[in-house]
Amino acid sequence: MIVVMTPESTEAQLNHVVQLVTEMGLTTHIIRGTDRTVVAAVGDKRNTDKTAIENCGGVEKIVPILAPFKVASKEVKQEKTIVELTPGGATVGGKELAIIGGPCAVESRQQIIDVAHAIKASGAVGLRGGAFKPRTSPYSFQGLAEKGLEYLAEAGQATGLAVFTEVLTMEHCKMVGNYADVLQIGARNMQNFMLLNAAGQQSKPVLLKRGMSATMEEFLLAAEYIINAGNPNVILCERGVRTFEQYCRNSLNLSIIPAIQRVSHLPIIADPSHGTGHAYMVEPASKAAIAAGADGLIIEVHPDPERACSDAGQQLTPAAFDELMQKVKRVANAVDRQLEAGHKQAEPAPN
Ligand code: PEP
Ligand code: MN
C-alpha cells in the first residue's frame, strides 16, 4: 500500500508512520515527490492495521498498489528514476541517452584499454566487459576473473568511463564493487533471487538484463527484489528473448520499452548486440531502440572482432561503433533526446 502524506506533514509525522508500519512487519520506502511525500509499505500484510495508519497525523490517505510489482511501479513513484552511473557523473533515465560500449569479455589489458579510449572518443559514457563470463559450455573462455576487473578499473580510470561488469555469484557483489561502477546481472541470472538480494544490499547501481524467456512482469518483479533489498538504482536492459526464430540469436523485443515505461519509473536500455547476434544488425537495431524510447544502449565493441574469445559474430569494430554513434545521434535528436554530455568530450588529463 501507499501511505500518502499531506503537503503540510512534518518530518516527525513521517518518521512516526515509518516506525508504525515497520512494527507491523512491512518494509518501507520513502519517496519524496515534487509536491508530497509517500511511504510505500510492502510485504506480508496480515498484521497490518490500516486504520491505525490512517489515524496518524500528517496522513492524507492510503492507496492500495494494484500492480504485482510495487516499488518498481509508477503507482508508487510517478517521476522517472534517473540513475547516476558514478557519483555526480553520467546518468541514465533523463533526457540524455547513455551509450555503453566495450567487448563481450575482457581478454587482455591492452584490449580493454584500447577499446576504452576508442569508444570514449566516439562519445560513450560507459565501458562494458565481462571478467566472469556465464558461458553455455564449460569448455568456452570463462573470463580473466579478478585480473580482468583490475584491467577494467584501470581503463575506466584512464578514460573517465563508468565501468559495467557482470556478477555471477553473491560473493562477486562485494568484490566487483571494489572495481566497477555498475554491477550487471545477466539474462541467465535474472531470477537468481539470492543474487538479486545481494545486489540490492550493496550501493552500486545495477544493470538488470531481461531473462531470455522472462515476461515483463517477471522482469519487473526481479527488479523489485533489488529495490526491496535497499538499492533503488536499477537500470533495466532488454537484450532479446528466445523465440522460434533462429535467424537472429535472439528476438529484440522493442515493444517492451514503451510497455515498461507505462507501468514503471525505472530506466530501460537496449542491448542490440545480444538482441540480434549479428554485427550488421546492431546499427539498425540501435536506431530502432532509441526511436522506441530506450534510455540508452549497451553495445559490444572489440578491436579485432574476428579474433574475439566470445561472441565474435556480434562485436563491432571501433570504427563501426563510431559510425553508429553518428547515426544514433541523429535519431536521438529526432525523438527529442540527446547523447550524454560526455559525447565527444575530452578525456581526463593523465596524472
Ligand atoms: C553480456 O552482456 O555479456 C551477456 C552475457 O549478456 P546476457 O546476459 O544478456 O546474455
Ligand atoms: Mn557477449
By the 8 A CB rule, do 120 and 347 touch? yes
User: Grid coordinates standing for 16?
Assistant: 512516526
Q: Is 77 in the pocket of ligand 1 (CB under 6 A)?
A: no
Per-chain mean pLDDT for the chain: 95
Q: Write the pLDDT tens digit of every residue in 232-291.
A: 999 999 999 999 999 999 999 999 999 999 999 999 999 999 999 999 999 999 999 999
Cβ atoms within 10 Å of 21's Cβ, excluding its own: 23
Task: Give the CA distances from residue 96 to residues 165, 206, 339, in Å, rounded to whole numbers and listed in that order.
Answer: 22, 19, 5
Ranges of each domain in the chain: 2-63, 83-339
* C-alpha cell, 109: 589489458
CATH 3.30.1490.20 for domain 2-63, yes or no, is no
Query: Is 83-339 a CATH 3.30.565.10 domain?
Result: no
Q: Is the CB of 104 under 6 A from ligand 1?
A: yes
Q: What is the mean pLDDT of the segment spanning 295-322?
A: 98
Whether 177 and 163 have beta carbons less than 8 Å apart is answered as no
Beta bridge partners of 200: none
Determine the Cα–Cα distance for residues 290 and 149; give it in Å rounded to an integer: 30
Give the pLDDT score at 46.
Answer: 86
Three-state secondary-structure class, residue 298: strand
Phi, psi of 301 (to 5 degrees): -135, 130
Query: Whose atoms come closest to the Cα of 130: which ligand?
Result: 1
CA 26 / ligand 2 centre spacing (Å): 39
Kindly state if the Cβ of 186 falls inside 6 Å of ligand 1: yes
Does 213 have pLDDT greater than 70? yes
pLDDT for residue 172 is more than 50: yes
Q: How do residues 52-100 score in pLDDT, each as one tens digit?
A: 999 999 999 999 999 999 999 999 999 999 999 999 999 999 999 999 9
Strand 27-32 versus strand 37-42 pairing type = antiparallel
Q: What digits encode the pLDDT tens for the residues 16-57?
A: 999 999 999 999 999 998 888 999 999 988 888 999 999 999
Cα 275 to ligand 2 centroid, rounded to whole Å: 10
CA angle 155, 198, 112 (to 5 degrees): 15
Q: Which residue's CA lies nearest to atom 4 of ligand 1? A: 186
**Count of H helices and E strands in the chain?**
11, 15
187 CB near ligand 1 (under 6 Å): yes
Average of per-residue pLDDT across 323-341:
93
Q: With a 6 A CB cut-off, is 274 part of the ligand 1 pocket?
A: yes
- Our mutation pick for probing the ligand 1 site, out of 184, 241, 299, 309, counting the most ligand atoms within 8 A of Cβ, is 184
% of the chain at pLDDT higher than 90:
93
11 CA → ligand 2 middle, Å: 47
Nearest CA to ligand 1 atom 5: 186
